[in-house]
Structure formats: structure tokens, C-alpha cells
Amino acid sequence: MVKSRQNPGLTISKYLDIVKRMNQENRIDTLRCFKALADATRLRLVNIARHFELNVNEIVETMGMGQSRISRHLKILADAGLLSPRHDGLWTFYSTVNDGDAGRFLDAMAFSFDGGDFARDLERAREVQVERNRESQRFFDKVARDWPEMKRTIIGDAALDRFVARHIPRCTIAVDLGCGSGDLLPVLQNKARRVIGVDRAPRMLEEARRRHLTHRHNGTLELRLGELEHLPLREAEADCAVISMALHHLAEPEKGIIEAARILKPGGTLVIIDLDAHHDETLRTRYNDRWLGFDAALIEKWLARHGFTPQAREALAIDRGLQAFLVRSRKSELKKKNQIRRRKS
């Protein structure tokens, strides 16, 4: 079997298999894509970017190569339309294109990423991601006592609690996902019989416990340690969930929405509050923000993708020239209706 001289991982027969898998009407420059992938390093980069969205420094750490070399390869892949750079302030994050002709091209290549360097790269990328999460946890543990005041320097005098309270329904169980030191817990307690706060930082939860968990609240307020991407809650455990100023700390915010969908009952309410997209890099350096805010339309796109129907959107001016938004959505009851049909049949 003849092998590519530049890339021993792609044989001529594999090239032909990929071409056969491609839609005959595809409009991408297939030859340019193959040329972009005719290099072992670039093939490894595509494999990593299929699984993780990383910035250049994280890719350098994963691959163990110099930044200039990595940047050159990333540019070739982006110019070929195989990588999608996401510019966020001064940082750029890379992931593969997942839809359209380029997405189908990469799907057709999926069988090529098997074992060897590909598996080692993914393991190393996971290690980089785990360490990044640990750094975030250490940061929030360190600032737990000062966090309410630090938050005020961003939010200012904006009445966030009243802003949120209008969108929380009366219910049995409400959860605050990424509760921090617990500013919104009293708001939820006024609306729900039982409230659960979740945060990844143990000292943040200690601060929330000190401020809000009294004997009077025994049995009605519970604090749990966990990640928003892997919530310590059962499927369909909650009636209402709030994610307030937390999604921008996640590497993959959509995973937080996926988990919220899992733990909410059919017909449950999800309220998301976050910052509009901005360019204030100090929030990344001083407050450990991963994303410099979001376009609310992107949040609504993720919500719709995972079974939510947006019901309301509001804007709120805060401090530092920033603006926040609130999106309230409702989880589909389709699953509940299907369960009823199955019981009847």
C-alpha cells in the first residue's frame, strides 16, 4: 500500500475512502483541504480541535511545540476552512468546523484519527483542561471572602436580585448553578420550598454556608460541591435552575446548558444571566473569566438545540460600561408526554 510521503498516517487508499464519503455536491476546495492535512502535525491539531476548544497557549502546552510553529499550522488549517477561530478580546480559540461541507469532510476523515499520537494528544489535552479547572477552583477558593465586594465592582448598584426574582416561578425545588458565595440563594428561598446551591470551589461553598445556612434553613437549603458540566444532581430533580454570571467561566458553556437540561423536569424553567459580549480584558485577568461575555442570541441558539424554548429576554445596564442580559426559557414537555403515552399503552 502506497503511503503519503509527508504524512505516514494517511495512505492513498484512505484518501480515496474519504473522497468516496464526501457528498458529490460539496463546495469546499477538497484538494486544498488534503494539502492542509498532508502534514502529521496539522493532522494532530485537527484531531485535538475536534474534541476541545483551546487557545494557542493551551495547544502549545498540549503539543509541546513552539508557539510560532503552532501558529503557522493553525493558520494553514483555518485558511483551508477546517478550523474555526473564535476571537474573544485579545485571545483566539480554535475548534474544528462542525457543519456544512467542511464538517462533512472532517466527519469522513474521523476513522483516520486512531491510536498512537492521536490518543496521546487527547490525553494530554484533557490534562491541560483538568489543570485549567484546578486553577479556576484555586482562584475562587482564594477570593471567596472577597467575592461579594469583587462582584460589586462589576455589577455596581444594579438590583440583580430583583431583576432575577421576576423570572423565578413558585416551585418545589430550585437550584443555583455556580452559586458562589450565595447572593441569590435568598431570592430562590422566597420562591421554592427547597433550594440547592452548587459550586466547584469548596471555600465559596463555605462562605455561602456561613452567610446563609442557619438552623432555620435546615432541610430547606442544601449546598453541593460539583462542576456545572457534571452536576451533582439527579435527572429531572429540579423545577427551576438559575445560572447567574457563571457560564463565562466555563471553557464549554454549552455543556452547562446540557447539564441544566438533564437535571430539570420537563416543563421546568431555566434562567440564565450573563454579560453581553465585551472587550474588557481585565475581567479575564482579575476575575478569571474564560469568555468575555456572550451574544444573547448564541445562548438562545444553545437553548433551542437542547430542548428549551426561550420565553423572555431582558437587558440590564451594570457598572464599568458593561451590560448584562437575562434569558428565561422553558424545557420541553415532550419527554413527559411520551412517558404518559407509554404508560397508557
pLDDT-derived band at 108, boundaries 50, 70, 90: confident
198: left (phi over 0), alpha (psi -120 to 50) or beta: beta
Residue scoring higher pLDDT (19 or 186): 186
pLDDT tens track for 258-302 = 999 999 999 999 999 999 999 999 999 999 999 999 999 999 999
Mean pLDDT for 1-7 is 40
DSSP state for residue 278 in the 8-state scheme? -
> Under CATH, which number does the domain 12-139 receive?
1.10.10.10
Position 39 confidence tier, pLDDT thresholds 50, 70, 90: very high
Unique residue bearing C-alpha cell 438562545: 300
Q: Evaluate if residue 213 carries a pLDDT over 70.
A: yes
pLDDT at 218: 65
Measure Cα distances from 327 to 7, 306, 330 in Å. 48, 15, 10
Q: Which residue has the higher pLDDT, 320 or 131?
A: 131
Q: Which of 95-104, 133-142, 176-185 has the lowest mean pLDDT?
A: 95-104
User: d(Cα 58, Cα 75) in Å, to the nearest integer?
Assistant: 16
DSSP state string for 144-176: TTTHHHHHHHHHTT--HHHHHHTTPPPEEEEEE
Q: Is the pLDDT of residue 235 over 50?
A: yes
CATH number for the region 147-344 comes to: 3.40.50.150
Burial class (CB in 10 A: 0-12, 13-18, 19+), 235: exposed
Cα-Cα-Cα-Cα torsion 189, 242, 326, 284, nearest 10 degrees, comes to: 120
| pLDDT for 290 | 95
List Cβ neighbours of 326 (8 Å cut-off, separation of 6 or more). Answer: 163, 164, 167, 271, 272, 273, 312, 313, 314, 315, 316
**62 pLDDT exceeds 80?**
yes
Contact (Cβ atoms closer than 8 angstroms) between residue 330 and residue 308: yes
Percent of the chain predicted with pLDDT > 90: 70
Question: What pLDDT score does 337 carry?
Answer: 47
Please report which confidence band the pLDDT of residue 111 belongs to, taking 50, 70 and 90 as the band edges.
Answer: confident
Query: What is the C-alpha separation between 76 and 133, in angstroms, rounded?
Result: 30
pTM, whole model, 2 decimals? 0.81
Average pLDDT over residues 203-207: 95
Q: Does residue 317 register a pLDDT over 70?
A: yes
The DSSP line for 16-67 is: HHHHHHS-TT--S-HHHHHHHTSSHHHHHHHHHHHH--EEHHHHHHHHT--H
Q: Where are the domains of the chain?
A: 12-139, 147-344
What's the pLDDT at 98?
Answer: 85
Could you tell me which residues are beta bridge partners of residue 294? 276
The distance of Cα 111 from the centroid of its chain, to the nearest Å, equals: 26
Average pLDDT over residues 142-151: 91
Average pLDDT on 202-231 reads 88
Mean pLDDT rounded to a whole number for the chain: 88
Contact partners, residue 31, CB within 8 Å, separation at least 6: none
- Residue 92 banded pLDDT, cuts 50, 70, 90: very high
Task: Give the three cell numbers for residue 286.
Answer: 482579575
Q: How far apart are CA 85 and CA 90, in angstroms?
A: 12
The 10s digit of each residue's pLDDT in 8-34 is: 455 555 555 555 555 444 556 778 888
